[in-house]
Amino acid sequence: MKKSALKLKNDRLKVEIDYPGNSYNGSRFDWTGFITDVCLDDKYSFCTKESLIPGKGSGGVGLCNEFGIHTPIGYDLAKPGEKFLKLGVGLLTRPDESDYFFFDKYQVSPFEVVVKEEDDSITFILNHLDCNGYSAKMTKKLSIKDNTLTIDYQLENTGKKTIVTEEYCHNFISINENPIDKGYILRFPYNINIKEVPEVLTFKDNEIKIIKNPKNDFHCIIEGYDSIDNHYWELVFEPLKAGVREYSNFNVKSLALWGTTHVISPEVFIDVNIQPGKIQKWARKYEFFTY
């Protein structure tokens, strides 16, 4: 039986979070803190679906993070039919000898999640089962204050082997469901570079502008970033004078931008490297605003 969606609410923000395993039960995205809707001042919405076509895509919605898109934990140790660890999800079954591909759908044996709700926060506690010496305890806390949403991560290595992977948040954003077209501007606090520039955008100094609606998916790597304290990006939609900033309190590994007809997604990556018995903490803070 499905449980009701989780909600956080104050005078400025309304945030809706999928109960782990309810609407999303795939093998790609972290089931905890799967944010499906954010509304500012009862007027501006920011979340959309990865795909508007039922059954297409990998099931992403809103603000959802993923571990191990490039570095799956223990995949090479698993033989076909055996399991490997996917942080935030469960034990996945390797189907054959092919390489891991994040977009493929793997059989999932999900981890149990403890959910603790308070007035202005929701905490998810997930104990990962041991798999080939890999195991972890993850605590993720979502909290709101005024117009900001903060996601605090704590990952403890409870296994015998070092956990080496990466994590990022796939921000499936569309402001008030406006298609990705002229009016969307992405800014950084430093000048950037893009080697292979998608035809739907231009960039200059610290700014990326969408110049036309993409007919297909586009993706690019953003270079020249500076891993400054409280690194951030800012996405605005000028016709509405509304936007969102994501602040990162960690050393940035890499930056990417993905988008398609109806969604744009800046992605900030962090290296995850935890020795047995050690803990790694990091946080993302989203500020939703008008100007």
Residue 160 lies inside a defined structural domain of this protein: yes
> Please, what is the Cα angle at 173 between 222 and 181, to 5 degrees?
75
Residue 234 lies inside a defined structural domain of this protein: yes
Q: Kind and range of the H or E element at 203?
A: strand 201-204
pLDDT of 227 reads: 65
What CATH number has the domain bearing residue 47?
Answer: 2.70.98.10
Examine the pLDDT at 272 and tell me if it is beyond 80: yes
> For residue 199, what pLDDT band results from cuts at 50, 70 and 90?
very high
Residue 42 lies inside a defined structural domain of this protein: yes
Please, how many CA atoms are within 13 Å of residue 217, restricted to the half-sphere of its CB? 11
Burial of residue 252 (CB within 10 Å: 0-12, 13-18, 19+) is middle
Residue 47 lies inside a defined structural domain of this protein: yes
Residue 1 lies inside a defined structural domain of this protein: no
**Mean pLDDT for the chain?**
96
Closest CA to 248 of 278, 217, 281: 281
Strand 121-127 and strand 207-210: the pairing is unpaired
Residue 172 lies inside a defined structural domain of this protein: yes
Task: Report CA 258 to chain centroid distance, whole Å.
Answer: 12
Residue 182 lies inside a defined structural domain of this protein: yes
Residue 104 lies inside a defined structural domain of this protein: yes
User: CB of 275 within 8 A of CB of 138?
Assistant: no
Range of the domain at 151: 6-290
What is this structure's pTM? 0.96
pLDDT, average across residues 199-225: 96
pLDDT of 1 reads: 66
Number of independent structural domains in the chain? 1
